[in-house]
Amino acid sequence: MSDLCASVNPQDLLRVENMSVAFRGQANAWLAVTEEVNFSIAPSEVFALVGESGCGKSVTAMGLLGLLPRPGSKILQGHAWFEGVDLLALSASELVKWRGAKISMIFQEPALALNPVRTMQSQLREALRQLPKAEADVRIEALMKRAGFADVARVLRSYPHELSGGMMQRVMIVMALLTKPRLLIADEPTTALDVTVQAQVMSLLQELCRETSTGLLLITHNLGLVAHYADRVGVMYAGRMVESAPVQRLLENPRHPYSQGLLRAVPEGLDSVEKLAPIPGSVPRPQEFDQGCRFRNRCPIAKEICARKPTLRSIGEHHTVACEFAT
């Protein structure tokens, strides 16, 4: 077991240990796309998972809920302990009982997640179908107001195409929180939203999660959002977790070369755009993964020793990194 898992608080809401996911590739061979992913989330905590596209963030989240395509995928190994139950050991029918009721997910594209031929009220009521309609409507209206809707009645009778992207995303957040889940997974919840709406959406998520002791797994490319709203952050690269730390510690003193590269590529203001230092190259495809450090072909400090598999080890309180040269 890694240092990360060994130091996990037993009171954590979710604890993911050595989780590996595979997809069926050519000649029906299984191809690992994530490898030994470890992280934990405490009640009321916002844990951000960051990295470039193709690093395995969404695959990890979908794997936790059993939403990856079957039979073309499988969990190779690992555990995901949630309230004493290993989610990765549950059957598809057993996972249905946890999704929505205990664990909710906000998907990247609200226009695709919402039913185009049903009103918002109809779709929100479905999340509370166990309750009497009048009681469900009271809860829906209260949460819609919390989400910043001034004209709740109009929005509820609207169809998805009658709402803006930001409004649809806020409806999705309301839908995810209606059942009062213990864990909320938000996969790029602010994609394609303007800066003002991004702030509204994230403030709402943070506020409601802390009020209800809900843990939030935030998957994002936006390090600005991470800096403002996350408590801890995990950095993924090519299917592996390469660094994990409290957010301020990682932003001020990133130890993995990939984390350092991500931060150097973030503009600090209009005058800094020309000074950006993008990471050369691109994330390798799963077919190109090997046992060594997968960042070494893009790393400015790589040595021969990087050809062997790095160990995720502790370099400080709640700070782990997978790099031979990190101290």
pLDDT cut 70: percent of the chain above it: 94
Same domain for 98 and 126: no
The answer on pLDDT for 11 being more than 60 is yes
User: pLDDT for 133-147, tens place per residue?
Assistant: 999 999 999 999 988
The range of the structural domain enclosing residue 70 comes to 3-102+181-267+277-321
Alpha-carbon distance of 103 to 107, in angstroms, equals 13
Give the end of a domain, one of 150, 165, 180. Answer: 180
Instruction: Dihedral sign for Cα 20, 21, 24, 25, please.
Output: negative
State the average pLDDT over residues 238-252. 96
Q: What is the pTM of this model?
A: 0.90
Beta strand pairing call for 313-316 and 319-321: antiparallel
Number of domains into which the chain is organized: 2
State the average pLDDT over residues 266-276. 61
pLDDT of residue 10: 60
Same domain for 196 and 95: yes
pLDDT cut 90: percent of the chain above it: 67
Residue 183, classed as helix, strand or coil, is strand
DSSP class of residue 310?
A: P
Same domain for 35 and 135: no
User: pLDDT for 106-132, tens place per residue?
Assistant: 987 888 889 999 999 999 999 999 899
Q: By the 8 A CB rule, do 119 and 111 touch?
A: no
Burial class (CB in 10 A: 0-12, 13-18, 19+), 268: exposed
Same domain for 155 and 35: no
pLDDT of residue 148: 82
Beta strands in the chain (DSSP E): 14-24, 30-41, 46-50, 73-82, 85-86, 103-106, 183-187, 215-219, 232-237, 240-246, 313-316, 319-321
Same domain for 112 and 80: no
Per-residue confidence at 283, pLDDT binned at 50, 70, 90?
very high
> Helix axis angle, 133-146 relative to 165-178, nearest 10°?
130
State the average pLDDT over residues 281-305. 94
Residue 253: CATH number of its domain = 3.40.50.300
Q: By the 8 A CB rule, do 205 and 173 touch?
A: yes
State the average pLDDT over residues 10-16. 87
State the average pLDDT over residues 84-108. 91
The answer on pLDDT for 6 being more than 50 is no
Alpha-carbon distance of 289 to 283, in angstroms, equals 10
User: pLDDT for 163-194, tens place per residue?
Assistant: 988 889 889 989 998 999 999 999 988 876 77
pLDDT of residue 1: 39
Q: Which bin fits 76, alpha (ψ -120 to 50), beta or left (φ > 0)? A: alpha
Phi/psi for 90 (5° steps) reads -85, 150
Phi/psi for 50 (5° steps) reads -125, 165
- What count of other Cβ atoms lies within 10 Å of the Cβ of residue 195? 9
